[in-house]
Amino acid sequence: MKILILPGDGIGPEVVAVSASALETLNHRFALSLSLEEKEIGLASLSVCGSTLPDSVVKSAHSADGVILGPVSTEDYPSEDKGGLNPSAWFRKEFDLYANIRPSKVRSGVPALAADMDLVIVRENTEGFYADRNMVSGSGEFMPTEDVALAIGKATVKGCRRIAHAAFKLAGRRRKHVTAVHKANVLKHYSGMFLEQVKLVSKNYPEVSLDTVIVDAMAALLVRSPERFDVVVSTNMFGDILSDEAAELSGGLGIGASINAGEKHVIAQAVHGSAPDIAGRNIANPTGILYSTSMLLEHLGAKTSNNLLCEAGVYLANQVDALLAKTETRTVDLGGSVTTSDFGKALITSMKN
């Protein structure tokens, strides 16, 4: 099984290096037989070969079983005709990564606004009100006159059904509860289609319970009683907003993890950005990409019925949890004083014991 590692921009090389070392250690400890390949993207590859996403990376990505993608500084990229491709957007479109899966969990020792939370938001990632992904040509956002702006939200039966299946399958491995978040009371066709398809798909998973919540109520309930939720499924924009809210409630975007998954490909990607203001200072928190790497292994394990991959993913997350539980092994942003590389060394030492 091949894993492609792409460090990215800003703090990406620093935090991804920790994840790569952890993967190498897991590879030996669990005899995973992983083939790890690292390639440059972003500003590093732009300066060498004139593209933020070289053809060699594209080729390797197509043959990889999973990709670890570091944060990218797309605002600093030139236009696409000058080589400034957005790797994250390219992966999503090229591989039809329709499921953005983002867990939010209160972890021991990590300051959090919520007292108790352990949920996963499953966000539809290819449709919705996002103008760059809901039309085959042109944009879903337009201005017929200078004082009128319009935006189109796209929902398809296929898109709604497949994100619902992803949510129910995940819930089956967790606490067997799905919450569908919608606005079908107002967006009767767009949100109504989503809600109808989730209910239909739920009949295939009788062991998983389903409830439905209107999106504005959900925003309040995440603050009031987040412990009641297990797997939350929603359309693109609602899922985007709610997943950021949940991340902040559970400890902040610095520890936020995600995978973007399609039928054949999966990309691990921390939810935070490239943080150029602290790049090169060895103080970035690597736990977001570490938890994302854990998710990648568990996803591949579930997909291929490989229990070793699942065990390795859970083991990695538990090892990171154990370090975060102690002030002396936390990075500065979480009240500790260790550097990025020191956190990595502590993690590897713990994993080798």
The neighbouring-strand residues paired with 259 are 101, 268
Sequence-ordered strand ranges (E) for the chain: 2-6, 35-38, 66-69, 99-105, 118-124, 141-145, 148-151, 177-182, 209-214, 231-234, 259-261, 266-268
**Rounded distance between C-alpha atoms, residue 245 and residue 316, angstroms:** 25
Catalytic residue among 77, 105, 183, 205: 183
Is residue 9 annotated as part of the catalytic site, yes or no?
Answer: no
Active site residue 216: yes
Catalytic residue among 9, 77, 190, 240: 240
Q: Is 282 left (phi over 0), alpha (psi -120 to 50) or beta?
A: left
The residue from 77, 98, 105, 130 that is catalytic is 130
C-alpha to C-alpha distance for 335 and 244, rounded to whole angstroms: 21
Encoding tokens for residue 115? 């007292």
DSSP state letter for 184: T
State the DSSP code for 82.
G
> Catalytic residue at 211?
no
Query: Is 303 among the residues known to form the active site?
Result: no
Q: What is the DSSP secondary-structure string of 325-342?
A: TSGGGSBGGGT--B-HHH
- The residues pairing with 66 across neighbouring beta strands, listed in sequence order, are 3
Q: Is 65 among the catalytic positions? A: no
Round to whole Å and give the CA distance between 39 and 88. 15
Active site residues: 130, 183, 216, 240, 244
